[in-house]
Structure 1
Amino acid sequence: MAISFTKSFTIPLMLTICSTILRFGRSYDYPAAFNFGDSNSDTGELVAAQGFSLSLPYGQSYFNTPSSGRFSNGRLIVDFIMDAMDMPFLNAYLDSIGAPNFRKGCNYAAAGSTVLPATATSVSPFSFGVQVNQFLHFKARVLELREGKGGKKLDKYLPAEDYFQKGLYMFDIGQNDLAGAFYSKTLDQILASIPTILAEFESGVQRLYDQGARNFWIHNTGPLGCLAQNVAKFGTDPSKLDEFGCVSSHNQAAKLFNLQLHALCKKLQGQYTDGNITYIDIYSIKSNLIANYSRLGFQQPIMVCCGYGGPPLNYDSRIVCGQTKMLNGTLVTAKGCDDSSEYINWDGIHYTEAANQYVSSQILTGKYSDPPFSDKMPFLLKLKF
């Protein structure tokens, strides 16, 4: 008998069940996790690195403070995944305040990061190659400290040596390479750049593999054209929108990127015969959410929860969520909505906790992965999220 969940009570029940399921699946019983990405999985890296602070209502729905450094009102997909695997939330690599514990892994993802090397105009200097360098430094220092005097005392703070080989390496990056390019390049130029982006990504993965990494979990990129920021900038002409109100060109670029990323993953699956390469189709999950938002309990598929301007988008690029600013001679505030669980989009770029919860629940079914992992966890076949 299938068990179905509604949004109102999925968080505690779904995670309890999935946590049990994942512990049964030995192939997914990892001692640690190392994450690389952008703001979709940043747990405080960019905030710690650049010394700025987010403001409420960021973080209000779960952490009760914006100091978690997450670009959402609450938990991210990576948080739900870690919780489901019965592991603690990942601490940001550069966030040393509060004596973070890195025994179960580390997060190198930083908002605004790209796969390609950062430029002078980049939001984040922590491109994928830099994040890989940070990991290599982290690993070297961990091994050095553990080999020194008093290394045993660090057991509860730092990963064991074999965790680096047995751990899960997660990737969610590439969105900013595509979305940012639309401000200066044509669609054809962007599509032509995808092989270069993926060559850089492959190089980083190869470096991790050479360091002993064997378990790779690679997310593709979501429907960029459905983010309010892109609709506001590039969707003023209705002919450029699809039937869901998303910018067609952005989604076209995301689809081609994902097609080639999938091909790369298949190549790596054949190349790394002693490894596990899992490709996760985030695009399909998010597209299904937007197309079927009402049936899934949401009321707003594209309009922003925390923003300014009112319907249809409630988004103004001149003012960010939580900020008060003088616009056109009037002091205004980009406020949060009354009920964030009704919205998919949080601030024009990022998802709400409720939407992140839905996406993570779909990832955990295993049916959006290649290879599918439900066959390794038979209990999943009896569940319907």
Structure 2
Amino acid sequence: MAFKLYSVPTLVLIFSYFPLITLSNFSYPAVFNFGDSNSDTGGLVAGVALPLGAPNGKTFFLKPSGRFCDGRLVIDFMMGVMGMPFLNPYLDSVGAPNFQTGCNFATGGSTILAAKANSPSPFSLGIQVAQFIRFKARVLEILAQDKKFQDFLPSEEYFGQGLYMFDIGQNDIDGAFYSKSEDQVFALVPTILAEFETRIKEMYYQGARNFWVHNTGPLGCLPRIIAIFGKLDPSNLDPFGCVTSHNRAAKLFNTQLQALCKNFQGQFPEANVTYVDIFTIKFNLIANHSQLGFKQSLAACCGYGGLPLNFDNQIACGQTKILNGSSVTAKPCNNTAEYVNWDGNHYTEAANLYVSSQFLTGKYFDQNLNRSKSHGFQHNYTHLY
């Protein structure tokens, strides 16, 4: 597959800001991923025929890949670290997808709480878990009938030995702010996490033992959020230009999610739970972007309107529309590696590479919680790019 490499200076700069700690034993026979657009590798495009066209995918895939990004996501880099192929979406049946090393149930716009009629994705976490349960049952049924499919489907032991990844919750908080006050959003967090706990327990009862849980990122630093809520109340912006109310909600969610993971680990000693602090990694990237080789921390690379945000809610990345009587196009920037944000809602491949590299040091795990074999990766960083 043809792809574009980052320049050597850029990679040297990225990797010079953390120790190359090897994480031994970060190896699983299969990965089963659950989440939203941060780890969607084509589920929403396949599931609802979302027209996610160019310039998405331009940096690595050289064409749209079903990802809300110019290239690879964090999940893609993680699969590369393990020397495994990209995860195929559960919902994509075209192209004879291979699920031997796992399956991706994540879909853009998904929430932990059950989807509503106006939700951008009907595939909430409960639906994704139900899809997994059906996937597992169907796989075992097919393999019991004919072993010739074992080159395309995970074996029975893979379900017990595999890694179960979760990166979801951002859309629950995001959506709540459009109809609720900050205090009301805070009050909703326990309800959101009660549903999350119910679903990961379902996975445990299905035989899952290795859990990898990302907390949610700094929601208030997304250009879309800043363009809406920052303009409504400029005093709600922090020194970096991020919306404080949304970041406070994200931090509260993360604090309670971390406590949930600890309780879950205590309740199920056979589980191996890894809680990853994505918020801190992403916020540090935004706060220190210039030292890390990025020129724009908040502006969308692909958008319309120019700096400081280059985002207009009326026109999405790649679209051409008539605005104020003129035909305009939301075009990508010249160099995506200079931008942290891709389209106003998601990160660029360059930012995803940095995020992946940071948590692969092991410094952003809950060390008191994590008893899993992912305690010490041992990998070759060349897999990342």
TM-score norm. by structure 2 comes to 0.92
Among residues 35, 58, 62, which one is paired with 2:33 in the alignment?
Answer: 35
When residues 6 and 184 of structure 1 are mapped into structure 2, their CA distance, relative to the original with a 3 A threshold, is farther
Among residues 161, 164, 178, which one is paired with 2:159 in the alignment?
Answer: 164
Q: Which amino acid aligns with 2:31?
A: A
When residues 83 and 330 of structure 1 are mapped into structure 2, their CA distance, relative to the original with a 3 A threshold, is same
1:63 aligned onto 2:41:
no
Among residues 274, 280, 284, which one is paired with 2:280 in the alignment?
Answer: 284
When residues 352 and 7 of structure 1 are mapped into structure 2, their CA distance, relative to the original with a 3 A threshold, is farther
Coordinate RMSD, CA, aligned: 2.2
Structure 2 Cα separation of the partners of residues 369 and 347 of structure 1: 28
What is the aligned partner in structure 2 of residue 134 from structure 1? Answer: 131
Counterpart secondary structure, 1:155: helix
What is the aligned partner in structure 1 of residue 216 from structure 2? Answer: 221
What is the aligned partner in structure 2 of residue 256 from structure 1? Answer: 252
Structure 2 Cα separation of the partners of residues 295 and 82 of structure 1: 28
Structure 2 Cα separation of the partners of residues 376 and 344 of structure 1: 28
Per-residue deviation, residues 245-280 of structure 1 (Å, max 9, x unmatched) = 000000000000000000001101111101100000
1:8 aligned onto 2:6:
no
Structure 2 Cα separation of the partners of residues 335 and 274 of structure 1: 50
Structure 2 Cα separation of the partners of residues 376 and 12 of structure 1: 22
Shift of the alpha carbon at 1:52? 2.7
Shift of the alpha carbon at 1:318? 0.4
1:183 aligned onto 2:185:
no
Per-residue deviation, residues 253-309 of structure 1 (Å, max 9, x unmatched) = 000000000000110111110110000000000011011000000000001100000
The answer as to whether partners of 1:37 and 1:109 remain within 8 angstroms in 2 is yes
Shift of the alpha carbon at 1:9? 2.7
1:1-385 map, 5 Å: 8-9=10-11, 21-22=22-23, 25-26=24-25, 28-66=26-64, 68-148=65-145, 151-236=146-231, 237-371=233-367, 376-377=375-376
Structure 1 Cα separation of the partners of residues 204 and 8 of structure 2: 40
Q: Which amino acid aligns with 1:100?
A: P
Structure 1 Cα separation of the partners of residues 229 and 350 of structure 2: 26
Counterpart secondary structure, 1:139: helix
Shift of the alpha carbon at 1:12? 12
Shift of the alpha carbon at 1:375? 9.0
Structure 2 Cα separation of the partners of residues 131 and 105 of structure 1: 14
Aligned sequence identity (%):
60
**5+ residue gaps, structure 2:** 1-6
The answer as to whether partners of 1:93 and 1:107 remain within 8 angstroms in 2 is yes
The answer as to whether partners of 2:14 and 2:293 remain within 8 angstroms in 1 is no
When residues 44 and 10 of structure 1 are mapped into structure 2, their CA distance, relative to the original with a 3 A threshold, is farther
Counterpart secondary structure, 1:258: helix
Per-residue deviation, residues 108-151 of structure 1 (Å, max 9, x unmatched) = 00000000000011000000000000000000000000011xx2
Structure 1 Cα separation of the partners of residues 195 and 12 of structure 2: 38
**5+ residue gaps, structure 1:** none
Counterpart secondary structure, 1:277: strand
Q: How many aligned positions are there?
A: 368
TM-score norm. by structure 1 comes to 0.92
Which stretches of structure 1, 4 residues or longer, exceed 2 Å deviation after superposition? Answer: 9-14, 371-380
Q: Which amino acid aligns with 2:165?
A: M
The answer as to whether partners of 1:365 and 1:374 remain within 8 angstroms in 2 is no
Structure 1 Cα separation of the partners of residues 147 and 207 of structure 2: 23
Structure 1 Cα separation of the partners of residues 377 and 166 of structure 2: 25
Structure 1 Cα separation of the partners of residues 114 and 283 of structure 2: 29
Structure 2 Cα separation of the partners of residues 259 and 315 of structure 1: 30
Structure 1 Cα separation of the partners of residues 115 and 350 of structure 2: 31
Shift of the alpha carbon at 1:238? 2.1
When residues 166 and 94 of structure 1 are mapped into structure 2, their CA distance, relative to the original with a 3 A threshold, is same
Structure 1 Cα separation of the partners of residues 254 and 8 of structure 2: 30
Q: Which amino acid aligns with 1:44?
A: G
Structure 2 Cα separation of the partners of residues 11 and 276 of structure 1: 33
Shift of the alpha carbon at 1:227? 0.2
Counterpart secondary structure, 1:298: coil
